[in-house]
């Protein structure tokens, strides 16, 4: 029996600083679930085939956790990033790197940022600090995302449509 692939819906917004949004998130019932930590992400590809298909394979290390994520092609939307996503916890980061290498995948981009994660029912908020600015990512259903943006005083002019991978390249950090 075929399993349906979950769909991720998110938006990335430019913000002046994470500290400015923390009390606003708390006022909207967001609860901290992960403290500020360094996050290392590596994108893997095999001869450019994933990039060609509009997909990504990411191995992420966040604190003591490692996650492997496949992201499918983006679905058309003027503001939100909507795409299939499958993610799983990895127990041994180095072993996963070995498996990917054995399958012909190679690291194509390494990125580091600082991230704190907050949640409330049906919505996740990530406050990210990068070498080129601060961002808020909201992930959940489209209506909750848009209402939260409105309550935070963030409109479409704050949306950053580019991925972190593209931003790292644009800023000469990849």
| pLDDT at residue 67 tops 80 | yes
Domain tally, the chain: 1
- State mean pLDDT over 130-145: 97
pLDDT of residue 174: 76
Has residue 124 been placed in a domain? Answer: yes
pLDDT of residue 3: 76
Has residue 25 been placed in a domain? Answer: yes
Has residue 34 been placed in a domain? Answer: yes
Q: SS3 string of the chain?
A: CCCCCCEEEEEEEEECCHHHHHHHHHHCCCEEEEEEEEEEEEEEECCCHHHHCCCEEEEEEECCEEEEEEECCCECCCCCEEEEEEEEEECCHHHHHHHHHHCCCEEEEEEEEEEEEEEECCEEEEEEEECCEEEEEEEECHHHHHHHHHHCCCCHHHECCCCHHHHHHHCCCC
Has residue 23 been placed in a domain? Answer: yes
| pLDDT at residue 31 tops 70 | yes
Interatomic CA distance for residues 9 and 73, integer angstroms: 12
Has residue 20 been placed in a domain? Answer: yes
Has residue 1 been placed in a domain? Answer: no
Interatomic CA distance for residues 32 and 49, integer angstroms: 37
- State mean pLDDT over 37-60: 97
| pLDDT at residue 35 tops 70 | yes
Q: Which residues pair with 140 in a beta bridge?
A: 123
Domain range for residue 97? 7-170
Has residue 46 been placed in a domain? Answer: yes
pLDDT of residue 2: 65
Has residue 18 been placed in a domain? Answer: yes
pLDDT of residue 1: 58
| pLDDT at residue 91 tops 80 | yes
The CATH number that applies at residue 52 is 2.40.320.10
């Amino acid at each position: 029996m075929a399993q349906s692939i979950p769909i991720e819906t998110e938006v990335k917004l430019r913000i002046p600083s994470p500290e400015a949004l923390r009390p606003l998130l708390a006022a909207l019932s967001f609860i901290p679930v992960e403290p500020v930590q360094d996050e290392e992400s590596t994108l893997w590809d095999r001869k450019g085939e994933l990039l060609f298909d509009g997909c990504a394979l990411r191995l992420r290390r966040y604190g003591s956790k490692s996650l492997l994520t496949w992201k499918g092609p983006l679905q058309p939307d003027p503001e939100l990033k909507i795409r299939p996503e499958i993610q799983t916890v990895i127990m041994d980061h180095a072993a996963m790197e070995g498996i990917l290498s054995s399958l012909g995948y190679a690291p194509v981009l390494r990125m580091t940022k600082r991230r704190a994660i907050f949640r409330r029912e049906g919505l996740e908020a990530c406050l990210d600090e990068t070498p080129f600015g601060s961002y808020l990512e909201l992930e959940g259903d489209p209506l909750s995302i848009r209402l939260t943006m409105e309550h935070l005083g963030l409109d479409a002019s704050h949306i950053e449509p580019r991925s972190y991978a593209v931003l790292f390249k644009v800023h000469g950090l990849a």
